[in-house]
Chain A
Amino acid sequence: MKRRSLSVPWRQRVALPPSGSPPSCLPLEPSCSAAWSPGAPVETQHEEQPRPLGSNQCLRPDSCFTSLEERYGPDIAGAAFVLKQGGAVKFQDQEWIRPNKHGRFSLKFLKFQNVPVEAVDASGCAINYHGLRSLLPLKELRSLWLRHCPHVDDWCLSRLHPLAGSLQELSLAGCPHISERGLACLHHLQSLCWLDISDLPAVSNPGLTRILVEEMLPSCQVLGADWTQGLRLGPEQQPRDTASPSPA
């Protein structure tokens, strides 16, 4: 198959599928701009040889989430969004799909009709309040990792309540803008059984917050700050200091 160079103007790249294209590649609308380059094969194990994709196989940036959703359904659209952001996605009974270091990923998940997304790892991605809209229709999402996301804040947490039916694992470790006020609205997520709230610099009292979150979600295992953090040592545990007088 002829490989196209990037110096070719985009209008020429958006052409009809060459006759030798395999039937598994699905042609998309010809009007889309080639802002993304079609993904090089991902370094995961496949049974079949990963095929280089034709020139018309490109996905528009996330502003066309709605058209992807209409065409392929919410799961595939959400997965495309996450992958474009640089995150990883796991469909049910499938392997993790991650972009490689150049940001490219295989488009074979477009074939996964009616397979729900069960895990999303958007750690380190620039996902924000508006971007979370793509994750909310994932009705069977079990695990969501938002570690070290710079734009995830209390407003974003208040948006997670549609995932209450399925979400079991949530990790918010290291997000700089999450405070205890946003954690208060996690009580909607009644199916949650594992929550990671460690290393949240904006939380004013990490030990006390962890206790309150554990009380709020009784059936959930909460990983977070040590609850003794912020407590003063008792007199018998004070380090022996010959300079100061010991209490009577």
Chain B
Amino acid sequence: MNKALRNPLIYILFVLPAFILFLAFFIYPIYTAIDNSFTSWNGISKDVKYIGFDNYATAMSDVAFWKSVKNNVYFILFSCLVQVPLIVIFSLLIANVKRLKGLYKTAVFAPSIMSTAVIGILWGFIYNPDFGLMNQLLGLFGVEPIYWLSDKNWAMLSILITNAWQWTGFYIVMVLAAIISIPKELDEAAAIDGATGWQRAMKITLPLVMPIISVVIMLSIAGAMKAADIILVMTKGGPAGSTDVMATYMIRYAITSFKHGFGNSIAVLIFVFTMIITALYQVLIARRNERIEY
């Protein structure tokens, strides 16, 4: 028995392919990103000059960079403060209806299986000031046309709405599964004790699905930190950088203007910020409820 499961050669053969890929696409890139972030490399030249922390200093003193950081923060706040409550409310609603449950579940999930790029195109059309659904709809109520993607005051919100449209259903289905897996007896016992639907939801269901909500929040944060495709497709970071997030800021500098070293320093910063936020969340909030165990 032990012999069969203690064959070093087999062990190595089994571990190796995945681990090599992991080293090649996670560890090595982090190493090169850090290394390049200290250079003024243009991505082409053979001689690479090390310039210490200059790239980081440049980023830190660039107003546009901080604007992109702020937009990442908006992304996170919007997910946690607007999306998560909606997710919880709609999951509870779906869990408690008897009819059409399947339809609701299927329909709300549909946007999450579609390509973000195509959703960006679709919503670009919806936001079109002349023919788009949004303004046509608002027009019915006599609202003046809004220049969704052209107006810096609206552009970020427009993207956040689109992102929420795509992903809310995905998380609803996750939370819904957790709610349905709660033993019926608990709820029934509370109902017999005279608890109202609202009380049961707050006192029984919600605490029990807290771990999964915690997962949803973590996934939203991770999603917010790496959001780039939807912005590239809808606004390219514009107008005037008002919808730039760190990832699109990085692409703008590193790929379109020969500043590979600087771009890598932004990559490292995204990495560091994500770590900090995740750690903060784990320490401040998740600890108090229940730590996520994998």
Partners in one complex: no
A binding-site residues for B, Cβ under 8 Å? none
